[in-house]
Structure 1
Amino acid sequence: MYILNDNGRFISILSDYGFKATFGNEADTTFLKKALQALINSPCAIKTVEFVKNEMAAITIDSRSGIYDIACVDENENHFIVEMQLSEYPEFIQRMKFYALHRFNTMVKKGAYRFDNLQKIYCIGILAQNIFNEIADYHNIAILRNEKNEIIDDQLSFITLELAKFNKQLPDINTDLDKLIYTMKNLHTVTETSQFPTFWNEEWLKKAISEVDLRALTPEQKLAYEMAISANALAIKNENKKIEEAELEVKRMSIQKALKRGKLALDEIAEDNGVSLEFVINIQNEINTDK
Structure 2
Amino acid sequence: MGIDYLKERYVNPYTDFGFKRLFGNEISKDLLISFLNALLHEEQHIVDITYLRNEHLGVLEKDRKAVFDVYCENDKGEKFIVEMQKAEQQFFKDRSVFYSTFPIREQALRGEWDYKLKAVYTIGILNFVFDENREDENYYHHEIKLMDINKKEVFYDKLTFIYLEMPKFTKTETELETLFDKWMYVLKNLPRLMERPVALQERIFERVFRVAEIAKFNKNELVEYEESLKVFRDLNNVINTAEQKGETRGEARGRAEGRAEGRAEGERKKALDIARNLKSSGLPVEDIAKFTGLTLKEISNL
Q: Contact 2:5–2:214 (CA<8 Å) still a contact in 1? A: no
In 1, Cα distance between the equivalents of 2:131 and 2:114?
32
Structure 1 partner of 2:145: 143
| 1:10 has 2:17 as partner | no
Stretches of structure 2 that go unaligned for 5 or more consecutive residues are 58-64, 250-302
Structure 2 partner of 1:158: 161
Distance of aligned partners of 1:231 and 1:186 in 2 relative to their CA distance in 1, 3 Å threshold: closer
Q: Contact 1:59–1:69 (CA<8 Å) still a contact in 2? A: no
The structure with the largest alpha-carbon Rg is 1
- Return the TM-score normalized by structure 2: 0.67
Q: C-alpha displacement at 1:37, in angstroms?
A: 1.6
- Return the TM-score normalized by structure 1: 0.69
In 2, Cα distance between the equivalents of 1:89 and 1:41?
30
Distance of aligned partners of 1:30 and 1:131 in 2 relative to their CA distance in 1, 3 Å threshold: same
In 2, Cα distance between the equivalents of 1:91 and 1:177?
28
**Per the alignment, in what secondary structure is the counterpart of residue 28 of structure 2?**
coil
Q: C-alpha displacement at 1:50, in angstroms?
A: 0.5
* Aligned pairs for 1:116-135 within 5 A: 116-131=115-130, 133-134=132-133
Letter paired with 1:123: T
- Of residues 84-93 and 152-161 in structure 1, the stretch that sits farther from structure 2 once superposed is 84-93
Structure 1 partner of 2:86: 86
Letter paired with 1:165: K
**Per the alignment, in what secondary structure is the counterpart of residue 119 of structure 1?**
coil
For 1:10-66, what per-residue CA distance to the aligned partner results, in whole angstroms no more than 9, with x for missing partners? 111121111010011212311100111222344532111100012426543xxxxxx
Distance of aligned partners of 1:213 and 1:116 in 2 relative to their CA distance in 1, 3 Å threshold: same
In 2, Cα distance between the equivalents of 1:30 and 1:199?
20
In 2, Cα distance between the equivalents of 1:6 and 1:75?
39
Letter paired with 1:8: E
In 2, Cα distance between the equivalents of 1:55 and 1:15?
19
Q: Contact 2:15–2:232 (CA<8 Å) still a contact in 1? A: no
In 1, Cα distance between the equivalents of 2:235 and 2:178?
36
Q: Contact 1:34–1:45 (CA<8 Å) still a contact in 2? A: no
Q: C-alpha displacement at 1:218, in angstroms?
A: 2.4
Percent identity between the two aligned chains: 26
Structure 2 partner of 1:168: 171
Letter paired with 1:205: F
For 1:192-219, what per-residue CA distance to the aligned partner results, in whole angstroms no more than 9, with x for missing partners? x2xx323433222222222221122223
In 2, Cα distance between the equivalents of 1:150 and 1:23?
33
Structure 1 partner of 2:257: none
Stretches of structure 1 that go unaligned for 5 or more consecutive residues are 61-67, 251-291
Q: Contact 1:51–1:72 (CA<8 Å) still a contact in 2? A: yes
In 2, Cα distance between the equivalents of 1:84 and 1:231?
14
In 1, Cα distance between the equivalents of 2:173 and 2:50?
33
Q: C-alpha displacement at 1:131, in angstroms?
A: 1.7
For 1:233-253, what per-residue CA distance to the aligned partner results, in whole angstroms no more than 9, with x for missing partners? 78789x78xx8xxx9xx9xxx
Letter paired with 1:183: V
CA RMSD of superposed structures (Å): 2.9
- The aligned length equals 229
For 1:89-144, what per-residue CA distance to the aligned partner results, in whole angstroms no more than 9, with x for missing partners? 25322111001122212213x35574543100001111010125336511111111
Structure 2 partner of 1:64: none
Structure 1 partner of 2:192: 189
In 1, Cα distance between the equivalents of 2:6 and 2:220?
20
In 1, Cα distance between the equivalents of 2:82 and 2:156?
21
